[in-house]
Amino acid sequence: MLKRRDALDSHVLKSYLSKMGNNQIKSDLADPTSFSISRNAFQLNYIIGTGGFGRVWKAEFKKSHQPYAMKEMSKVRIVQKRSVHSVMNERAILEKLNNPFIVNMHFAFQDRAKLYLVMDLLSGGDLRYHIGRQRKFNEAQSKFIAACIITGLEYIHANGVIHRDLKPENLVIDSRGYVRVTDFGVARLYSPNNAKDTSGTPGYMAPEVICRNNHSYSADYFALGVMMYEFMLGRRPYVGKSRAEIRDRILSKQVQVSITELPIGWSYEAADFVNRLIQRKPANRLGHNGIREIKSHPWLKDFPWKSLFDKMLDPPFKPASGDNFSKKHFSEIGEDDAQEVQLIPEDLFLGYEYRTYLLHHLIGLRSERRIKDIEGIDLLYECNLIHKPSLPLSKWIDLGSSEISRHFLRRVHQSPSHRLNLLEKETWSGTVESLLLNRVLIVITAHLLLWTNLLMK
């Protein structure tokens, strides 16, 4: 956590705009192309995965040298698979979410042929990669992984979203060993009448989903139970060659972890935890009454949740240093036929862009020593630049830059009176004392972004 000075100099802010150069700001805001994002803004290093619509690159943002995972999706393939709604839905959901236990979106943009989604890059690889290498996890490792998933799901569900495709391939590990939830391609906002809207991976789909019944957040808990079963025994509880075969096996028998097959080193509480999660009837499933029911289970009741969220724990499973991606050869994906691309209406993916352009443009200026950071979020509202956040300052510093910027974007949209008019403040002078908070810069640029949108209209 950032160590703050006992006495903050209120004059530290005075030269912020002068150091940035007001004329340059006005010029940049008036010409959006000066900070627009395209594929050319990134250095594409190599392919780290493939999917139904294209491939995933390990990429680097050229100005900041920040690494990202860039999902490159063919518009032709999206249309052919009738997945326009799903792709746009994923983009919309990701804009609403930002949490240290999910893979967050940083950019979304498009060209004539493709869509691009730029996300956090986690070098630890996905859980499927590690299951393939060691087949099972021990109880301590499984408990930590489950706790990370539960923390991510708690946030996702609190925002009214059902993930619906929780599986090892969609759980990625950072370099330290913390797990995050990714891939919101089939996620949906909760609706009580969603029987017709069923998607996912059959081996991990809850019975109510695979049988096309109404489903709720507990469908994600069933998938968690399936993965825990797999970590423990090295196989899934229900397997089959097709969705219909898996459905028939689910309907024919309730699978449970028996005491006789409990591996050495695993507790009875762990077996009970798994057995209660994979209950076929949602009403009997652990978590049906809310995620607190899961967190209070005897297997997890003493788990240090706050230390986990603050990432102060030492993960029991650590990925190897470097990139933990499959070394298998990814087949080359051919380019789309130009005539097919031209048949796609230009406005079919209207609004796909995620406008963080100015934010990264200003970070680029900072890296070129044309601007500097400023000290303390409290200085911002002391100078009437922003309204005071509802949470304590120390909490906002802990949350991280991306969460801070999104919070203020939401609050400013809701309260027009709080919009920041930096362009009117041209009389500031002085010097910025020191570099300190990248996060503070992001808060300011979030507000500048609002003015960018106004000037572009």
Per residue of the chain (457 residues), give pLDDT as tens: 333 332 333 333 334 334 444 444 444 434 444 446 789 889 999 888 887 888 999 999 888 888 999 999 999 899 888 888 889 999 999 988 889 999 999 889 998 889 999 999 998 888 998 988 888 899 999 999 999 999 999 999 999 999 999 999 999 999 899 999 999 989 999 998 888 887 888 889 999 998 899 999 999 999 999 999 999 999 999 988 888 898 898 888 899 999 899 999 999 999 999 999 999 999 999 999 999 999 999 999 899 999 999 999 999 998 887 666 655 545 555 565 666 676 677 778 877 877 554 444 444 444 443 333 433 344 333 433 333 344 443 443 334 444 444 444 433 333 333 333 332 232 222 223 333 344 455 556 655 665 655 555 5
State the pLDDT at residue 315: 95
Residues 6+ apart with CB under 8 A from 416: none
Neighbours of 178 (CB within 10 A): 21
State yes or no: is 197 an active-site residue: no
What pLDDT, on a 0 to 100 scale, did the predictor assign at position 52?
Answer: 81
Contacts of 190 (CB under 8 A, 6+ apart): 160, 161, 162, 216, 217
- Give the span between the Cα atoms of 404 and 186, in whole angstroms: 27
Token pair 């509802």 in the structure block, residue: 390
Annotated catalytic residue within 28, 120, 126, 165: 165
Which amino acid, residue 245? E
Strand, coil or helix: what is 17? helix
60: helix, strand or coil: strand
Q: For 112-150, b where at least 16 C-beta lie within 10 A, e where not — what string?
A: ebbbbbbbbbbbbbbbebbbeeeeebbbebbbbbbbbbb
Give the model's pLDDT for residue 195. Answer: 86
Only one residue has tokens 């627009």, namely: 36
pLDDT the model gives residue 456: 58
Judge whether 85 and 42 are in contact, CB under 8 Å: no
Tokens of 205: 């789909």
Return the number of other C-beta atoms located less than 10 Å from residue 80's C-beta.
Answer: 12
Write the CA distances from 194 to 51, 66, 164, 206, 220, integer angstroms: 26, 40, 12, 14, 15
Tokens representing 404 are: 């801070």
pLDDT attached to residue 380: 39
**Confidence (pLDDT) at 450:** 59
Q: Which pLDDT does position 70 carry in this prediction?
A: 94
Domains of the chain, with CATH numbers? 10-32+372-456 (no CATH), 39-122+325-343 (3.30.200.20), 137-309 (1.10.510.10)
Which two structure tokens, joined as six digits, stand for 86?
A: 């799903």
The one-letter amino acid code at 156 reads: I
pLDDT of residue 452: 59
pLDDT at res. 170: 93
Residues 276 and 224 sit within 8 Å (Cβ to Cβ): no
With 0.75 as the threshold, say if the pTM is over it: no
In which element (H, E) is residue 107 found?
strand 105-110
How many Cα atoms within 13 Å fall on the side-chain side of residue 359?
23
